Structure 1
């Protein structure tokens, strides 16, 4: 009996599902053909068209409106035309209104042709005897118009059928279920007469000539793009500062006489949101509402991302998304672990899509790109976020030069032309920077200069030098008097180097005072906190004995003047280092050179360098010594990959098993970094594409545990199956946008950034784990770290 009832119920449910399915298919099909007709109300209609992958039957008459030129059926997607597009059109119509089409009388009466309905936010409000003058800002908070509200109209004209919020503002009146809009207006007319700034509203009215044009002193110079040049606003507008939303373009030739309006929400009376208000991160949404510079940066980011996509797709790249839930593999940085309900198993958030994109190259994908979210659990600073975005690309059958050329074309043709008022990129033909050719004999000429890692560290003390500063480092130990060496270092057989900081006309006394205060303030820096060496500093002063260089002796002072040609007030810095090969990203003197310049600029003694100087840094060491401050690949060889363990060695050098095992630090990697104005905005390399070579690096050179090598099994299997040569690049999109918008921190170009402690202060993340979650994911909270060896790190990784 029970079985019979169960079968009957199943059959009934099946018939019900079939009927529902038939009904939906019928509705979709009807709506699909109906949507090909022009709608009378585009802001309200829903477009739904039929989509099919079945072959077209020749014996069936097809609607010609659904056919392309080659006879294929058009495939449509479901979409909805929202009121936002209509709102944007209305604002644009308003801005482009021709004055000749408007009546010349002050009170023209109703005119259907000049009727408009606008959505936006109320900001400024100026009452008078018979009218209220309101400034209405468009939904994008970019365009504004003056609206005249007569005291004889009210929100009741919109009709009681519209939904009215129960509360208008935090302290506003409540609306009982039986009350009408008219009752609310009569009881609380001040709500409609004096709305709070930032109140969202819908206004219907007539476009009329503006009787009193905005005053000329309202015009405002606004920075656009990178520098402080004036940004030209749209036609029929003046640039002005709205006290609540910041810089806007005010429509200057017309205004709106409102016929009706409706408040769509309220603004709490206990919040004052003005453009000069400093909001904490917890009120990020109000910072967006009031900070026009922040909105402009985020919108520029969106526009640049769109142009990049357009450029990449037109050059044969496919945008392919790779998974965010990955496995833990030792690539060089700490990972974020995502526990699962399966005991002892966890995902890891990817440090980069590196392994997946290499597998794509082995899968027959010729060119790949994506805007990838990457995660690294590392110490934060101004240019770092635990969650960041990079433009990731990979090219099969390509060399490192092919990739560098593609990146240059992207910057020159897709990015720079779409940033308003930005200085051009300096190229090899427009910069005085010396160019260092690659060892690759087939290397085509690149647009940006190239400098080897060795040359960059020697000349600038950094692998990401700002070449706009000049001031190259010179080796001086060949002629430096021995007594001077003993004054600044206790190293045996040191390398002595000197750099000149050009102070551009500062008085020697001012330079002396500046450098003394700088060194005193830098008491914790590594160049003032080393027992074996100290910086030797001199200021060139023609009024002093030996021009302020007496500590160098007569011959040494003459040599300094001959080699550095100092001007009065210039600072000369002497420092020592050992003669070992360069490792890491900078030398002590390189840090000192950079910091003195930055401090002098912040003190107003030197002008900030202008323009954009791009540079390729190439020929990095393939391996670096491990350090105790950052994780490497976890091997036991005492070395780690400078970039990552998938970087190929540079062609043209002698490579043998003996070299890899006995002198791996001498091997050059086919790795390249793009540096602009002293910021590493991206990096890439030619990859290892043979399985045996990749496994040899992991097992024999880095000496990773066999279990860790197995973690790369998926990649090794892909390389084994005829993977072609390939190379790639990752452009730090956050850093690039910070540079393009001339902001000091990447937080200023990210909508919801993390802060120095890694916390999302707006949402309150990370949040505490509950007891139930601990139990579900088999976790235990411990007060101390698990015992074990400290992982070794590479500063370059």
Structure 2
């Protein structure tokens, strides 16, 4: 009878589409009951003898009206020769596949309007077929209540299974030979595991507001902009969600699409190791939100770049080894002795694009550098890479500012505005090119200025405590007590302790310097720091170590309050090199320690600035590789950066360390979020830098022949920028490590703990790629490079 009615419904479908949909839906409800007796009971493990509605619909040949043989039939007849255990696996998989019927989206569910019973004269049900995860559940008499969470794990709706409906389905199933008693099916429904993916078929009904109980406190709150239809709620399995407060689903059928292990507890307060990254995602709504925000920001940035007439162009990941400044990852090939290198950046390809007539290029580029991991470094990372032809630094900086201001910041929820950094002495900012058509709005400070004022080339100006030189105030005997250096530079900072008691300040700074992590400061060869705490009751108010004249000068210029800390540090009288000074690092660490201990307030908001006029070349660092030249110097940025205009370029050959590069970094809250430069676009000039200044060997110079050849063919002036997307997202989401904004990050030693990479190579792989494992040390160590490279 059931089959006959189904055939008739199919035959009338083309003529009576709307009627047919309703009839077939009712038939499916009956069939769901006969197939699984209680589809809600299959929330744990499906009975091998039952047949789901999807199976029934797949069996039915709509064109001929006949039933086809399925996996279950083969299994029962034993004709296939496949073991029964394997048949059970095949049947479970077949039964867990989604049907071909239209699914209800969660967006449409949110828009469902439930009319009152009196006004619903047609008595039409709001029928849905929807998928998600079952999380929490509870029992109440003859009802089972489940929480169904959407695939994004953000929205939820209550699902109700009634024992009366289960009893009807069980009786119908018994008439058709289905196994299991009502109590068994009801018990299965109670045994539902959190995180089970399901398909729910049922009717959407109005959800009455729960009665308020005296003294009961709710953890839910109404969300703005949701018309009172959702409540914020903590789901114990997936974290914070928004649950519909005006509707719920009365389930006719709940079909499991997989099972969740019974020996695994996965709740939002469970701490999972990196090896279980998938469960970190499932249970941590903040992690999911950060990754989704990353996707949204990338889409908005891409939209902004396309609006500015940039072309998104992908460049190869299998590159060649060239000495740009960092260690490379080598990819061996089956050709003996031949290997690719993963790109440190798309730098050379994008310059070739400029020579090819591409006016504006960008991409979200994957970059690879074999360097030690830090909180802001990963061996593989993502950067927004861009290049523009016929422009200089000003135009590039203007584009970057506009993208950050108008396409990044407005799309981050509840974030403070991005403001230009406050600079105490505005007259020292670089305003030389402010008359250019494209004007940067963020203040610009030269490398020498930020190193002198903050001791860092990426300062957090919100912290205050600028560095001041005071050697002219100090008598020779005081300088001699601070350092053994001849003619030293003596610098001082004042830490504003915001009214902290002097004894508390003294204990704090003493404990800081006594910590094992402070040995880099207390054992500094240039001299250990001198510390004074301003206190009215002491001789010269705690500044006696400065001497009488200097103490009065300090009071007059710095206007300290009781409890403020003065730190004095000496350094050699030499030009700045590298990314920071000892006092700059000490300033940062002391302030962060005082903030973490609640002694001073944390800075708020976001402050941006450009750091410009870096040295074009820097002394080498013996710990890291670089361009491999023999001159004892290396490129501060990379060897393609052009010298800044308006200086004596003959210094390139006589004193290259004095040459200033046209290089610019964007710094926000002490984070270098990106950097760029104007490039050398003349082949002869590029070769002069590589050969004449860096003194690369001829064979290393040939590694750049492809670029030199492209520059020779009328390459226009060009400049570019690379925005560290991982660092930017970590800053936007207030995370200390970029690992927290990367879906599958690397950990110590570059290890991916989830997939356990890198892995040992087998003997066959070693043979295929003509490799051998040896314990011998490399005969020739890699050449050094500057820290900035």
Tell me if TM exceeds 0.5: yes
Q: What value does the CA root-mean-square deviation take over the aligned residues?
A: 2.8
CA change 1:781–1:286 in 2 (3 A) is same
Residues 153 and 260 of structure 1 are in contact (CA less than 8 Å); yes or no, is this contact kept in structure 2?
Answer: no
Residues 233 and 239 of structure 1 are in contact (CA less than 8 Å); yes or no, is this contact kept in structure 2?
Answer: no
Deviates more, 1:668-677 or 1:519-528: 519-528
Shift of 1:757: 2.0
Deviates more, 1:439-448 or 1:278-287: 439-448
Residues 678 and 720 of structure 2 are in contact (CA less than 8 Å); yes or no, is this contact kept in structure 1?
Answer: yes
Instruction: Indicate whether 1:739 and 2:731 are aligned.
Output: yes
Instruction: Indicate whether 1:676 and 2:668 are aligned.
Output: yes
Q: Distance in 2 between matches of 1:157 and 1:368?
A: 62
Match of 2:294 in 1: 301
Instruction: Indicate whether 1:144 and 2:171 are aligned.
Output: no
Task: Find 2:580's aligned residue among 586, 608, 627.
Answer: 586
Match of 1:699 in 2: 691
Shift of 1:353: 0.2
Shift of 1:205: 1.5
Match of 2:456 in 1: 462
CA change 1:306–1:213 in 2 (3 A) is farther
Shift of 1:189: 4.5
Instruction: Indicate whether 1:124 and 2:136 are aligned.
Output: yes
Match of 2:375 in 1: 382
Instruction: Indicate whether 1:573 and 2:567 are aligned.
Output: yes
Q: Distance in 1 between matches of 2:181 and 2:641?
A: 71
Query: Any gaps of 5 or more consecutive residues in structure 1?
Result: 1-37, 45-81, 162-178, 223-229
Note the alpha carbon deviations across 1:470-493, whole angstroms, 9 max, x for none: 111000000112222122211110
- SS in structure 2 at match of 1:680: strand
Shift of 1:255: 1.2
Note the alpha carbon deviations across 1:723-743, whole angstroms, 9 max, x for none: 000000000000000000011
- SS in structure 2 at match of 1:322: coil
- SS in structure 1 at match of 2:721: strand
Q: Distance in 1 between matches of 2:167 and 2:636?
A: 67
Q: Distance in 1 between matches of 2:767 and 2:488?
A: 59
Shift of 1:278: 0.3
Shift of 1:232: 6.5
Shift of 1:654: 1.4
Instruction: Indicate whether 1:213 and 2:207 are aligned.
Output: no
Task: Find 2:336's aligned residue among 321, 330, 343.
Answer: 343
Match of 2:348 in 1: 355
Q: Distance in 1 between matches of 2:510 and 2:732?
A: 34
Deviates more, 1:728-737 or 1:201-210: 201-210
Query: Any gaps of 5 or more consecutive residues in structure 2?
Result: 1-17, 22-53, 55-97
Residues 90 and 116 of structure 1 are in contact (CA less than 8 Å); yes or no, is this contact kept in structure 2?
Answer: no
Q: Distance in 2 between matches of 1:686 and 1:185?
A: 76
CA change 1:694–1:191 in 2 (3 A) is same
Match of 2:755 in 1: 763
Instruction: Indicate whether 1:367 and 2:360 are aligned.
Output: yes
CA change 1:83–1:554 in 2 (3 A) is farther
Task: Find 2:111's aligned residue among 92, 96, 102.
Answer: 96
Task: Find 1:449's aligned residue among 433, 443, 451.
Answer: 443
Shift of 1:117: 1.8
Count of equivalent residues: 689
Shift of 1:784: 3.0
Note the alpha carbon deviations across 1:246-278, whole angstroms, 9 max, x for none: 000111122111111111111111000000000
Match of 1:730 in 2: 722
Q: Distance in 2 between matches of 1:498 and 1:745?
A: 31
Match of 1:201 in 2: 198
TM-score (norm 1): 0.82
Note the alpha carbon deviations across 1:2-56, whole angstroms, 9 max, x for none: xxxxxxxxxxxxxxxxxxxxxxxxxxxxxxxxxxxx9x99xx9xxxxxxxxxxxx
Shift of 1:180: 9.0
Residues 118 and 204 of structure 1 are in contact (CA less than 8 Å); yes or no, is this contact kept in structure 2?
Answer: yes
Q: Distance in 1 between matches of 2:172 and 2:430?
A: 76
Shift of 1:109: 12
Q: Distance in 1 between matches of 2:105 and 2:660?
A: 61
Q: Distance in 1 between matches of 2:169 and 2:185?
A: 16
Q: Distance in 2 between matches of 1:109 and 1:769?
A: 72
Q: Distance in 2 between matches of 1:461 and 1:747?
A: 27
- SS in structure 2 at match of 1:772: helix
Shift of 1:211: 2.5
Q: How does 1:371-770 map to 2 (within 5 A)?
A: 371-427=364-420, 434=426, 436-437=429-430, 439-440=432-433, 443=436, 444-656=438-650, 659-770=651-762
Match of 1:778 in 2: 770
Match of 2:241 in 1: 248
Residues 221 and 231 of structure 1 are in contact (CA less than 8 Å); yes or no, is this contact kept in structure 2?
Answer: no
Q: Distance in 2 between matches of 1:510 and 1:418?
A: 42
Q: Distance in 2 between matches of 1:433 and 1:221?
A: 47
Note the alpha carbon deviations across 1:593-630, whole angstroms, 9 max, x for none: 00001111111112211100001000000000001112
Instruction: Indicate whether 1:283 and 2:280 are aligned.
Output: no
Residues 221 and 231 of structure 2 are in contact (CA less than 8 Å); yes or no, is this contact kept in structure 1?
Answer: no
